[in-house]
Amino acid sequence: MTHNDIHVPVLLERCIELLGPAISHPGAVMVDATLGMAGHSVELLKRFPALSLVGLDRDTDALRIAGERLAPFGDRVRLVHTVYDGIAEAIASSGFPSAHGILFDLGVSSLQLDEAERGFAYAQDAPLDMRMDQNQGVRAEEILATYNEGNLRRIFERYGEEKLAGRYARAIISARKDAPITRSGQLVQILSEATPAALRQQRHPAKKVFQALRIEVNQELSVLERALPAAIGSLTVGGRLVVMSYHSLEDRLVKHDFATRAKSTAPAGLPVELPEHKPELVLLTRGAEQASDDERLTNPRSASVRLRAVEKVRSIS
């Protein structure tokens, strides 16, 4: 299959609709902060011929593939190998003072899921790696080998919202005494055996644990906490930011940050709202938008997406 077959951009038309008013003018700069295989970026560059793009990704394989797909657009494209909390530095190093549009498509990419050897998918036996940047960082197998029971339980509860976190942590500690847990098949078996039979029929026992390990390996929530203010600070007034999240922890962070910045900071009872108290952002979506039933059928990755978007209306120095 081609990369076009593998990767179908989620909520593509809605993203273009939301970003369009901010990036349709000559000299506009768009940042795809989670470039992946560049599905959204290819379409944005096609539809806005005066647009320049800065594409960020921590995954060198993704950057290579994206570079091939974006090559026809020539010097309109700058690619940067970085985690998305480095967005401000990436824009500056690409020669731009700010951005007019920014897109975050969070979570694990189609490329990472489809390459079994990366260890992201619990349905395929593979080494327990899970690093989005394979050149650095701690592997999932190292976490399973070194974290104590309390820390394993903490990440399963916090990042996986797993009700059996304690049971799974104990099972892992017990199993690793006999042999290192280095492959996804081993971990799935340990979790399955630790799951009550009645619950095994309701959901896959590994789903939430694998999510929690991936988030811990890549420090996804702490990166997002830094990336959101960095992205908003990098937008010009009138610029727009679209964020697509795929689990409640991410969406909660995005919702809180956007809501806080979209409110006036004027003290209660102040007769006139001073300029310095005006909101920094305007919300462009009512709550979190989801994919249509049709899109969910044709693109399963869209099933859990939650999209939020804002426009920057005031700069805060």
Categorise residue 7: left if φ over 0, alpha if ψ from -120 to 50, beta otherwise. beta
Q: Are strands 29-32 and 52-57 parallel, antiparallel or unpaired?
A: parallel
CB 11 within 8 A of CB 295: yes
Categorise residue 36: left if φ over 0, alpha if ψ from -120 to 50, beta otherwise. left
Q: Is 57 annotated as a binding residue?
A: yes
CA distance 30 to 85: 16
Q: Is 66 annotated as a binding residue?
A: no
Q: Is 201 annotated as a binding residue?
A: no
- Nearest one of 34, 59, 211 to 131, comparing CA atoms: 59
CB 254 within 8 A of CB 60: no
Q: What is the DSSP string of 76-144?
A: GEEEEES-GGGHHHHHHHTT-S-EEEEEEE-S--HHHHH-GGG---TTS--BS---SSTTSS--HHHHH
Q: Is 84 annotated as a binding residue?
A: yes
Q: Is 7 annotated as a binding residue?
A: no
CA distance 102 to 3: 23
CB 14 within 8 A of CB 294: no
* HSE-CB of 283 using CA atoms within 13 angstroms: 18
CA distance 10 to 291: 8
CA distance 119 to 150: 24
Q: Is 293 annotated as a binding residue?
A: no
Q: Is 204 annotated as a binding residue?
A: no
CA distance 261 to 232: 10
- Nearest one of 110, 131, 84, 111 to 10, comparing CA atoms: 110
Give the residue ranges of the annotated binding site for S-adenosyl-L-methionine.
38-40, 57, 84, 105, 112
Give the residue ranges of the annotated binding site.
38-40, 57, 84, 105, 112
